[in-house]
Copies of this chain bind each other. A is one copy, B any other.
Amino acid sequence: MRVEDGFQLAEVDPDSTPGAPDRKHAENQLEKNLDELGSLQERLFAESKFGGTESVLLVLQAMDTAGKGGILRHVVGGIDPQGVHVHAFKAPTDEEKAHDFLWRVRKELPQPGIIGVFDRSHYEDVLIHRVRAFSTPEVIEERYGIINEFEAELVASGTTVIKVMLHISSDEQKQRLQERLDRPDKHWKFNPGDIDEREHWAAYQEAYQIALTRTSTRDAPWNVVPANHKWYARWAVQGLLLDALRALDPQYPAADFDVEEQKRRLAAT
């Protein structure tokens, strides 16, 4: 769901599945679309070898357990790894803290021809920073504008920016955290800090509401994807990626060398 004027996060039902067929058909589509996704990605990559400057950046934001990992495995994992650059932004290091908040982000931007994926992003600097008061309200206020300018530059330089918030309900998160605690093979996915964050649920929803509406621009709009149903979120995010690539419509580039001459050279070897 595109974030536009008057958007209210609280009105989005995390259980809903807008636009999707039933689960079985959605899962079939996810699988079937891999070929087209692969073909579009290859052409995007091919263009870049002959001077193409276009790239794609998928930004994933969500509360813990919302399913970013599943998107990475089931949507991004279907794409040729040579054409993908995934980066997970963790709590910043001392070196990163010594620079402006976009410094570490700029270093991970996709090169031409590449589909970049951010697992969390510069939006943490207006989300957790707001909720936990890691920055002053004035600094955070300023960051919305800085982000919009930054993303506008990115888009102007040829990067299609797809911003996705995976939206789960508080109850669904509770259930997923419970599962991580119940299953020893899931303990590694759990961190006591996850519950600290959960205790700020309402404040996070508010921080998201503000960030989404302040930074959903025409060039780089936000999409809120209901994510209580994992199959739906995967289907929806694949669809956003496919739409972006179809709009770019990359083409195999024409050779910048004399094909017949190279055939003669090859024959002589």
A73 touches which one: B82, B201, B257, B259 (CB < 8 A)?
Answer: B82
Interface presence of A247 (CB below 8 A): no
Instruction: Find out whether the CB atom of A81 lies under 8 angstroms from the CB atom of B82.
Output: no
A269 touches which one: B69, B189, B199 (CB < 8 A)?
Answer: B199
What residues of chain B lie closer than 8 Å to A231, measured between beta carbons? none
**What is the copy number of this chain in the assembly?**
2
Digitize A155-185: 1 where CB-to-B-CB distance is under 8 Å, 0 elsewhere. Answer: 0000000000000000000100110010011
Instruction: Find out whether the CB atom of A174 lies under 8 angstroms from the CB atom of B80.
Output: no
Instruction: Find out whether the CB atom of B262 lies under 8 angstroms from the CB atom of A192.
Output: yes
Instruction: Find out whether the CB atom of A195 lies under 8 angstroms from the CB atom of B119.
Output: no
Known contacts A181-B262, A253-B187, A269-B195: does B81 contact A84 (CB below 8 Å)? yes
Instruction: Find out whether the CB atom of B263 lies under 8 angstroms from the CB atom of A181.
Output: yes
Which residue on B lies nearest to A260, using beta carbons? B181
A259 touches which one: B185, B187, B199, B262 (CB < 8 A)?
Answer: B187
Interface presence of A89 (CB below 8 A): no
What residues of chain B lie closer than 8 Å to A201, measured between beta carbons? 269
Which residue on B lies nearest to A257, using beta carbons? B192
A195 to B268, CA, bound (A): 10
A266 to B259, CA, bound (A): 66
29 interchain pairs (CB within 8 A)? A46-B189, A47-B188, A49-B188, A69-B82, A72-B80, A72-B81, A72-B82, A73-B81, A77-B79, A77-B80, A77-B81, A81-B84, A81-B117, A82-B86, A174-B269, A178-B263, A181-B259, A181-B262, A184-B252, A187-B252, A187-B259, A188-B252, A188-B253, A188-B255, A190-B255, A190-B262, A191-B257, A198-B266, A201-B269
Query: Taking beta carbons and an 8 Å cutoff, which residues of A are in contact with B?
Result: 46-47, 49-50, 69, 72-73, 76-77, 79-82, 84, 86, 88, 117, 119, 174, 177-178, 181, 184-185, 187-192, 195, 198-199, 201, 252-255, 257, 259, 262-263, 265-266, 269
